[in-house]
Amino acid sequence: MIPAHVVSLNLCADQLLLALADRRQIAGVTVYAADPGMSAAASAARGLPTTRGTAEELLLARPDLIIAAPYQVAAKRALLPGTRIVAVPEANDAGRIAANVRTVAAALGHPDRANPIVASLSARLPPLPRAKGPVIAQYQRGGWLAGTGTLVDDLIRRTGGRNLATVLHRPPLSRMSLEAIIAARPDFLLTERRTTTGDRGAALLDHPALARAFPPARRLVLDGTLTVCGGPAYPRAVAALRAQITGSVRSR
């Protein structure tokens, strides 16, 4: 039976629901789904009902299918024991993205809709090249680095680069001081495009010492909405980063 009232409970589920469902099937997406600063599918989410996933909202929405992260399943199943809940695991590579697309398409009653998205993933995300390219450090607010097993690590490797965190054998998420990131001398510093200023966590990224060590020619800037989730928008992130690296290397 094709579900008629579907709710998604996180940004990653939003992306899949918006890409695969009939609009009339969607009973709710997250309050962040239409925010262009957070969601890669913001334009598609405009005008749809939103939810914070509270008990009251879900009881009123009366969904017959919920798309959620694995950690959200137990609480929602206890609240709505008769409602089908499909868990979408975190996707940190092309294979997991494709698997999630197929899972959600089947749950929505539209399994064939997965095929063009999966085909596009295969065409636009070819096998990982052998990493011999520049060393890239994705430096986040607060001094965090993304390491092995993360979507950002996959992203860097797909552009032919080497992730500094992986080179240094760091865990999937670790912190690195300003002094240490400068001393490590990666070829490029990768940061996310920011739409706001004054964030204390992001102040580190504006430090004069970091600006001197990594002038514009050694900076890569990516739209963070493209990597917040491994989903249909991911090939755009790979293409955008590859183009920046190619342009920066040629201009050196």
> Tell me, what CATH number does 176's domain have?
3.40.50.1980
For strands 135-140 and 6-8, give the pairing: unpaired
Q: Which residues contact 154 (CB under 8 A, 6 or more apart)?
A: 92, 93, 94, 128
Under a CB-based contact definition with an 8 Å cutoff, are residues 72 and 134 in contact? no
Asked whether residue 63 falls in the same domain as residue 15, the answer is yes
Q: What SS3 state is found at 89? A: coil
The verdict on residue 82 lying in a domain is yes
Same domain as 206, residue 149: yes
150 and 110 inside one domain: no
> What pLDDT sits at residue 204?
82
Domain boundary among 80, 99, 123: 123
Backbone angles phi, psi at 129, to 5 degrees: -75, 165
How would residue 95 be classed by pLDDT, with cut points 50, 70 and 90? very high
- Which residue would you say has higher pLDDT here, 249 or 67? 67
pLDDT band at 155 (very low <50, low <70, confident <90, very high): very high
Domain membership of residue 194 as a residue range: 135-251
Residue 27: inside a domain, yes or no?
A: yes
| Tens digit of each residue's pLDDT (9 = 90 or more) over 129-148 | 776 889 999 998 889 999 98
Say whether pTM exceeds 0.75: yes
Q: Which residue is associated with the tokens 């495009």?
A: 193
Q: Are residues 151 and 64 in the same domain?
A: no
Residues 199 and 228 in one domain: yes
Two tokens, residue 167? 């080179």
Say what the alpha-carbon torsion angle 158, 161, 165, 168 is, to the nearest 10 degrees: 130
According to the model, what pLDDT value does residue 190 have? 96
Exposure of 226 in the CB half-sphere (CA atoms within 13 A): 17
Q: How confident is the model at residue 111 (pLDDT cuts 50, 70, 90)?
A: very high
Residues 6+ apart with CB under 8 A from 232: 15, 16, 19, 41, 97, 101, 117, 120
DSSP sequence for 199-227: -TTTGGGG-HHHHHHS-GGGEEEE-GGGT
For residues 119 and 139, membership in a common domain is answered with no
Asked whether 221 and 106 are in contact (CB, 8 A), the reply is no
Q: How far is CA 46 from CA 19, 34, 161, 198, in A?
A: 13, 5, 36, 28
Neighbours of 157 (CB within 10 A): 21
Question: Is 109 in the same domain as 139?
Answer: no
Residue 236: burial class (beta carbons within 10 Å; 0-12, 13-18, 19+): middle
Looking at the domain assignment, is residue 1 inside a domain? no
Q: Quick check: 200 pLDDT over 70?
A: no
Q: Give the burial string for 60-92 (b: 16+ CB within 10 Å, else e).
A: ebebbbbbbeeebeeebeeebeebebbebeebb
The count of structural domains within the chain is 2
For residue 198, is pLDDT > 80?
A: no
Whole-number Å distance between alpha carbons of 91 and 100: 8
Chain segment 71-92, per-residue pLDDT in tens: 999 999 999 999 999 999 999 9
Given CA atoms 236, 242, 245, 246 in this order, what sign does their dihedral have?
Answer: negative
Q: Which of 123, 152, 176 is the last residue of a domain?
A: 123
